[in-house]
Chain A
């Protein structure tokens, strides 16, 4: 789809922004370019729509050298979203979104109709159409920026740190919304960020750049976390990549055991008879209610009479990741993670040791694939390997779970209390 062939960008003052980059981006996927500042990721992005002309090499779009097309014409077919939205302050929201259709000569009426559809698509109320950009919040402006980029339904979207200038909560919303949109639209997206967490969350494939405009690694997020090509990538990806790659492991594959589960109507004597330090009380539908410490049980009565310790949180076999499961184990008073099925009924329990043993099995990749952590010489989108998308995995990686384009499993909270998991825990250890 988008192919960089030995592309370099040198400036007259001697700096090299991009150095002999060869990269092929798959159609219909999100490719994230990530790296420290000055690594050439934005320059690379801008070479796609000729905002920057390469000093050497060629960039081609669908097999065609982009220099064959006049720059303005090329750009009308490529959506572009930037950090501060860059909305036209003198035009209404509706007219901002209608910009490219108007440039393409659609006529005002048709362009505005299209713009109204796009506003709806990005989740903005129709009442905003007549407003001016200064009347919108940063997050809303960014949504308009996305809508505007989609104006003429371009097959390619370039996004340059589009969510960096908004607060973390809004950023999370925008990211989720963005993934939802992409599921619907299947655009070929090139996304620049300096935030590795964002890259891992959004990318089907990630290109890690190092200072000096060299490609350090081009791979799927899972493989980037599991097999960083070198110390630079390992450092950039962060200290806790072991934990974070669990986001790509489905909780449904984890082994659970029955564990000390009793209906809340069971007698205290029955709980003691299990000979376990903690007993999980469940209701009639096997939904978990809480943990009872056996040492603190009264002499008689049922579990219903006992003050239960809160669950911490449970994890869902239907949607959560192994990361949520491990977190549940760590937060549980009994040190046992409670797995629930789609109905919220207890499916079983496991402690952190049992979980980690299972994760090691499921995430281990045979070292026979030493050729795959692609480097600058011949980087081809892992997802673009012929047949790979259908087959699930390239040959030689039988142990790797999930599709190449797998995203972190981000299920809702389990049946238990508030979720405490999330990227917050990962912030401290980032090697930037």
Chain B
């Protein structure tokens, strides 16, 4: 770092507000869409694992192996097919969420008390209806716990996508390094952390509103 260069030049931030907002939007899209896609994959996969327990161990292993592949390697693999696009970033990030979301869906379904499941069957719920109207809603608190972890890690991972030019706010980190200019690096880092925190807070709030029935859990029974 050059002598006399402050950590943060506030003027720079003021000059780049519009651009920062744009990259923040891109960053959110790149970070959160994979969580959504991951959820769309994990719910049926988790239901499958819950229904046929023997499916679960190999599925979980596969998800964990995927998670262990360095993101850089995955980007390089997908670049061949999807080029330097946002998709190349989102596909690996989606795959990463599975190692958190699948077990949470399975645990969530397992958290449905047996008497509840039996009562539903005995009252004349068909299998599909029972899963959709009874089991999945009861699984929500556990699933949301997984979504929180997945969302936070996904948002922080997006920056790595800058290696193929699709890193959201990660752009400022590489730019700052190239220019030996700390302001954009610090600004982007703080913004990414704030995004993660805000997303987490929103998910907590959403869960409160979505599952008012779960509030007393643990206190009773």
Chain A residues engaging chain B, CB cutoff 8 angstroms? 49, 51, 72-76, 78, 80, 82-91, 99-100, 103, 132-135, 145, 148, 151, 158
Contact = CB atoms under 8 A, between A and B. Distances in A.
A245 B118 CA distance: 37
A215 to B, nearest CB: 24
A100 B119 contact: no
B115 to A, nearest CB: 4
B156 to A, nearest CB: 32
A132 B213 contact: yes
A429 B18 CA distance: 85
Interface in B109-130: 113, 115-116, 118-126, 129
Interface in B174-221: 211-217, 220-221
Interface string B56-74: 0000000000000000000
B39 interface: no
A72 B121 CA distance: 8
Contacts of A72: 124-126
Contacts of B122: 49, 51, 75, 78, 80, 82, 158
A75 B124 CA distance: 5
A100 B129 CA distance: 13
A116 B137 CA distance: 24
Contacts of A158: 122
11 contacts: A51-B122, A72-B124, A75-B121, A86-B113, A87-B116, A88-B116, A89-B116, A89-B213, A90-B138, A103-B123, A134-B220
Contact of B119 (A74, A86, A90, A134): A86
Nearest to A83: B115
A88 B118 contact: no
A82 B116 CA distance: 10
Interface residues of B, number: 26
Main secondary structure, interface of A, reads: mixed
B131 interface: no
| Cβ-closest 6 pairs across A and B | A86-B119, A86-B115, A76-B124, A80-B122, A75-B124, A132-B213
Contacts of B116: 86-89
Contacts of A83: 115
B137 A132 contact: no
A51 B121 contact: yes
B26 interface: no
Given A82-B115, A132-B212, A88 B221 contact: no
Given A76-B124, A103-B124, A82 B119 contact: yes
A80 B211 contact: no
Contact of A100 (B124, B212, B215): B124
Contacts of B213: 89-91, 132-134
Which of A76, A87, A89, A132 has the most chain B CB atoms inside 10 A of its CB? A89
B111 to A, nearest CB: 10
Nearest to A80: B122
B157 interface: no
Contacts of A134: 213, 215-217, 220-221
Nearest to A104: B124
A296 to B, nearest CB: 57
A76 B124 CA distance: 5
Given A73-B124, A80-B119, A91-B213, 12 more contacts: A72-B125, A74-B124, A75-B122, A80-B123, A86-B116, A88-B120, A90-B211, A100-B124, A132-B212, A134-B213, A134-B217, A148-B123
A75 B217 CA distance: 30
A134 B214 CA distance: 8
B134 interface: yes
Contacts of A88: 116, 119-120, 134, 138
Contact of B123 (A76, A91, A132): A76
Contacts of B216: 132, 134-135
A78 B123 CA distance: 8
Nearest to B115: A86
Nearest to B120: A88
A151 B120 CA distance: 13
Nearest to B218: A134
Given A89-B213, A90-B213, A99 B118 contact: no
B140 to A, nearest CB: 8
B132 to A, nearest CB: 12
A87 B119 contact: yes
A97 B91 CA distance: 45
A133 B215 CA distance: 11
A91 B213 CA distance: 7
Nearest to B112: A89
B62 to A, nearest CB: 31
A71 to B, nearest CB: 8
Contacts of B221: 134
B123 A90 contact: no
Contacts of A103: 123-125, 129
A51 B118 contact: yes
Contacts of A76: 123-124
B128 to A, nearest CB: 11
Contacts of B113: 84, 86, 89
Contacts of B120: 86, 88
Contacts of A90: 134, 137-138, 140, 211, 213-214
Contacts of B220: 134
B207 to A, nearest CB: 12
B52 to A, nearest CB: 18
B213 to A, nearest CB: 4
